[in-house]
Structure 1
Amino acid sequence: MTQPNVKAYLRASIKKQDEVAKDRINIFVESLATKATSWYSDNISGTTADRPELERLLTDSHEGDLIVVESLDRLTGLVIVTEKPFN
Structure 2
Amino acid sequence: MSPPPFIDRESGELDLRQIRAEVFPLAGLIVLFGGLALLMFLITLLVAGNSLLGGLLTVVTQFILAVGTGIVLMYVIARGIQLADG
Instruction: Determine if the TM-score, normalized by the shorter chain, exceeds 0.5.
Output: no
Q: Which has the higher strand share?
A: 1
- Which of the pair has the greater relative contact order for Cα pairs under 8 Å at 6+ separation? 1
- Give 1 or 2 for the bigger CA radius of gyration: 2
Give the TM-score, by structure 1 length. Answer: 0.31
